[in-house]
Amino acid sequence: MPAWGSACQTRGRRGGTWHYRERVSERVAVGVLGARGRVGAEVCRGVEAADDLDLVAAVDVGDDPQELVSRGAQVVVDFTHPDVVMGHLELLVGAGVHAVVGTTGFDDERLATLRGWLESSPGTGVLIAPNFSIGAILMMRFAAEAAAYYESVEIVELHHPDKADAPSGTARRTAQLVARARREAGLGAVPDATSTSLDGARGADVDGVHVHSVRARGLLAHQEVVLGGPGETLTIRHDSLDRASFVPGVLTGVRGIAAQPGLTVGLESFL
Ligand SMILES: NC(=O)C1=CN([C@@H]2O[C@H](COP(=O)(O)OP(=O)(O)OC[C@H]3O[C@@H](n4cnc5c(N)ncnc54)[C@H](OP(=O)(O)O)[C@@H]3O)[C@@H](O)[C@H]2O)C=CC1
Ligand SMILES: O=C(O)C1=N[C@H](C(=O)O)C[C@H](O)C1
């Protein structure tokens, strides 16, 4: 029986007599936080279109997040804002509700706080995924794999100008994965003899990897990882052209989170 499966009976006719056959229903009651936002609205549409999911609460600014609990959400998806997401998670984890989180802004300190809350709520699962699109997940994986072979690497992330934060959660995560791969390969610091006269000219330094953030109307979510070695470069690029790109990954997280208690960072282990 799945974690939230409920057994129900269906009636069938065999040999002229009615009999009952047990059928296991795996429907999941889902709440969405940030339901009127750019991604939240897309997630609501995805949940409503799925045969095995029920949208029981759609919450945004002005609504009471307690509704998520009182309406029986088993899993809550959060696409809100880095400034408010921790408050939501404290409420959800305290109530034993699983969470699938796309909202950015998770540093080591926040993750440690979250782990502490989860220790007091055994059986509850939280998935924090910097990016739910399959192409972005593959882009991060390919970048980490390539990083061991190149002396140089820089990341350019490009987004719409209404984005809450910079650098993007995806770029931070990519930089961390690339930096780890470089360490494991025994590579030292990336070569850079530049002496800059303007702050910011070389972007932000994330674990020794330079990250550049572009914000321009017309863009949605894009990233390039530029790797360089003697006489060659390799550019790994991903483009999200529509927010529909995030929905299948979110629904995969929703369906899998009850079976993965504790904290998971990145959708990779659900694929
Ligand atoms: N992991 C991933 O794959 C992705 C992650 N993201 C991240 O998701 C987050 C949201 O992005 P996006 O959808 O573009 O942002 P939006 O601003 O379009 O949506 C956020 C929504 O949350 C609402 N909101 C803000 N505070 C609260 C609150 N306290 N309670 C309930 N709702 C609240 C906002 O309302 P109001 O507008 O009134 O403030 C808005 O409707 C960002 O951190 C972004 O980086 C985005 C895309 C993909
Ligand atoms: O705000 C966005 O739009 C996005 N945010 C996430 C991030 O910061 O990485 C994911 C994607 O890049 C879109």
Handedness of CA 243, 248, 251, 257 (dihedral sign): negative
Q: Report helix, strand or coil for 144.
A: helix
Q: 130 labelled as ligand-binding? A: yes
Nearest Cα residue to atom 4 of ligand 2: 221
What pLDDT, on a 0 to 100 scale, did the predictor assign at position 156? Answer: 99
CA–CA gap between residue 121 and residue 223 (Å, rounded): 36
Please confirm, yes or no, whether 159 is among the known catalytic residues: yes
Neighbours of 230 (CB within 10 A): 6
Q: 34 labelled as ligand-binding? A: yes
Specify the DSSP class assigned to residue 190: P
The atom of ligand 2 lying closest to the CA of 168 is 8
Q: 14 labelled as ligand-binding? A: no
Helices (H), 50-200: 66-70, 85-94, 108-119, 134-147, 169-184
Write the CA distances from 141 to 38, 97, 144, 238, integer angstroms.
26, 30, 5, 12
Ligand in closest contact with the CA of 68: 1
What pLDDT, on a 0 to 100 scale, did the predictor assign at position 26? Answer: 80
Ligand 1 pocket list (CB less than 6 A): 33-34, 36-40, 59-61, 79-82, 84, 102-104, 129-132, 164, 169, 246
The atom of ligand 2 lying closest to the CA of 131 is 10
Annotated catalytic residue: which of 98, 159, 210, 222? 159
Residue 6 burial (C-beta neighbours within 10 Å; 0-12, 13-18, 19+): exposed
Neighbours of 224 (CB within 10 A): 18
Ligand in closest contact with the CA of 76: 1
Phi first, then psi: give them for residue 32, nearest 5 degrees.
-125, 130
What pLDDT, on a 0 to 100 scale, did the predictor assign at position 25? Answer: 55
Ligand in closest contact with the CA of 248: 1
Q: 82 labelled as ligand-binding? A: no
CB 263 within 8 A of CB 118: yes
Q: For every one of its 271 residues, what pLDDT tens digit does the chain have, with 9 covering 90 and above? A: 333 333 333 333 334 343 333 444 589 999 999 999 999 999 999 999 999 999 999 999 999 999 999 999 999 999 999 999 999 999 999 999 999 999 999 999 999 999 999 999 999 999 999 999 999 999 999 999 999 999 999 999 999 999 999 999 999 999 999 999 999 999 999 999 998 889 999 999 999 999 999 999 999 999 999 999 999 999 999 999 999 999 999 999 999 999 999 999 999 999 9
Ligand 2 geometric centre to CA of 221 (Å) = 6
> Model's pTM, two decimal places?
0.92
